[in-house]
Structure 1
Amino acid sequence: VAGKRVLDFAAGSGLVGVAAMKAGAASVLCADIDPFCQAAVAANATANDVTLAFTQTNLLDAPPPEVEVICAGDICYERPMTDAVLAWLALAREKGTRVLIGDPGRTYFPRTGLDFLAEYRVPTSRELEDQEIKRSSVWAMP
């Protein structure tokens, strides 16, 4: 992402946006429709001494923005949302945007049509997940 414009889609707390800026991204737009995310993104940007833009606009209502990389994490836990997001991401990919998807093994994650990049073992808690260590993978749209 060094030198690139990045969209952290379904940003949550902005963790991916922070990582992108720390890796040298030119800019990051964090997008999430959850009204609590803006405060979390701002707090994490401040704590990590990076600048992150934020939008609460539902980006699925318009063509994908002009960025070089879209990172979308944990988007496949509900069928209608998964279908809508994957179709929107495919439009971005067709325009030449690099699309990276992080997924911790959610039910509606597609089992075909993506290129596997990496797998990580992520510590979590039983209050959030069904395991103390969650396997999470990163995939790219070809």
Structure 2
Amino acid sequence: MTGSIEQGTSQAHGNTHILHFLVRLPRRMETVWPALATPEGLAAWFTPADVLEPRLGGAVTLRDMGSGRVTAWDVERVAEYTLEGGGRLRFHLERDGDEGSALRFTHEFRGGEESEQRWRARFERLIAVCEASP
């Protein structure tokens, strides 16, 4: 199985923008989870996490995005980070066949600092990281 970015949509509601992606990853959920929920994993494809307390209500600081709190945490399934001024990032993993995972991603933010193309490039890096892992 190879990874793919199957869907990307962008919506605007006033000054709030919402990006949704469906990313198919060639590894099981337990293998992908650290890439979404650990400082080392996030740094490999997205941005350094200077602070990440892996629990509901824990502190999080994503270097290029800002600081905030972990607002959803279900180990190996859901990691959601709500950032002051940076919006909300939600990573939701699901099984995709015997060997793969599907990542349903949502980024809600104000202003126009993020783009669908930037996230596509990030997810291409995530796919490459997953394909390189055992």
Instruction: State the TM-score, normalized to the length of structure 2.
Output: 0.32
Whose Rg is larger?
A: 1
More strand by share: 2
TM-score by length of 1: 0.30
